[in-house]
Each structure stands twice: as structure tokens, then as C-alpha cells.
Amino acid sequence: AGKKAIVTGGAKKTGLCYGMAVALHDAGAEIVILDANSQVENTVAELGGAKSGYHAVVANLLDLNDLSNGFQQAISALGGRLDILVNGAGLQYRCPSEEFPEDAWDRIMGVNIKGVFFMSQLAGKVMLKQGKGKIINIASTNSFIGLRNMPAYVSSKGGVKQLTMALSSEWSGRGINVNAIAPGYMDTEMNVALTDPKNPKFTQQRYDELTQRIPAHRWGTPDDMKGCCIFLAS
């Protein structure tokens, strides 16, 4: 109760970041949802806006100036304090490695790892002055294994795992906990090629194979992220 939080990503209600933002809010925190998609303003308005403890900031994590400006807007909306940062924004692109384009590589690495570091750096400066704070990064099972046709995503999420450990090692003795959640197969927009029969890339065989790999035999949802996010922020 009474904590101040920034969640990157979260413009779309089907996303994991949206689920975590709502969970933190429902646990008592005031929330800024920061996203490059201007839809975040409509999403926050539907949640009740500032009077309900939600704020929207539009910022492009690929542009460090925009990222920094967006962070400052968020801090201002939260009254100058920051207790929790959830680095949830992420991109994906599937393509055979021998054909993978440079622009897709740069976008994915820019948001998924560079953006995570520089958001953490800005948050760290605030939290170190306070003597406390929580940073939660969103890694992936691809931080530990390498699935085919997504070399940039796998590389970026491996980087998130290592960055999380590095920041934790550096800041944990100074009051900041840095952790990561590594989701598995999640039923989100990022995976529609694997889950949506209407998508031209969907195959029932592939979907069935992947579903059988999941111990629960179902794909994850934003609701599945809520408990672990609250725990790591507590």
C-alpha cells in the first residue's frame, strides 16, 4: 500500500505487463504505465485514470532521450518517488537466422536489453538515494534455452538474465532488490503465430507439440504473472 511503481509495456489488455500493473495497483500501489504505443492513454483512462491511481506515459524505449524524458514524466506523476520498476516492454520477430534482418535485430535488442538497462539505471539513481527499491525484469525461458528462428529475442533475453544478476550483485547491498521473472509459453499477442488458428503461420501440430511441453498443459496468461510480481515487489 502506498508504493509508487512504473511498469513498461502494458498498453494492451492481453499483455503480461497489463496484468502486472493491475496486480500492483490492486495491492495498493500508484502506477505509471509507460509504453511507446499511444493506446496506453486509452487503456489507463479505462482503468480510471489519475483519480484511480493510474497514469499513462508515452515514450519510445528505442530513443534514449525519449526514454529519459518519459521516465522523468513518470517520476513527476508519482510525486518524485519510485519504489518499484517492472521492465516488461519487449519485442519479438521470428525469421530463419540466415535471413534475419539487421533492423529487426536492432529494434529487439534496443527495447529488450538496452531499454531495460537504461530504465534500470534511471530508476537505480532514484532508489539509491532513497536507500531502497525493487526492480523486476521480464526474462524468458529463452534466457536459458535457445529456440529456433528468433536469434535476437533469445540473445536479448539471455542478456536480461545476466543483467539482472549483475545489477543484483551491485545494488542488493545498497537496498535495491533486482530480480527477474522468466515466463514460459504465454498466450499473448507476441505468440499469435503459435496460438491463433486464424494466423497464416499457425499449425495445429506445432501448437499441440508446444502445449504438451507445458507441465500445466495450458498456455500462460497475464493473470499468471500477478502473484510473482507482487511477491518480488513486496
The beta-strand segments (E) located in 46-117 are: 54-58, 84-87
User: How many whole angstroms separate alpha carbon 9 and alpha carbon 12?
Assistant: 8
User: How many whole angstroms separate alpha carbon 75 and alpha carbon 119?
Assistant: 12
Joined grid coordinates for residue 139? 526474462
Query: Out of 18, 153, 185, 207, which one is annotated catalytic?
Result: 153
Q: Within 13 A of 214's CA, how many CA atoms are on the CB side?
A: 16
User: How many whole angstroms separate alpha carbon 222 and alpha carbon 11?
Assistant: 13
User: How many whole angstroms separate alpha carbon 132 and alpha carbon 82?
Assistant: 9
CA distances from residue 224 to 94, 110, 154, 166 in whole angstroms, order as listed: 25, 27, 22, 27
153 is catalytic: yes
Give the residue numbers annotated as catalytic, written as ranges: 153
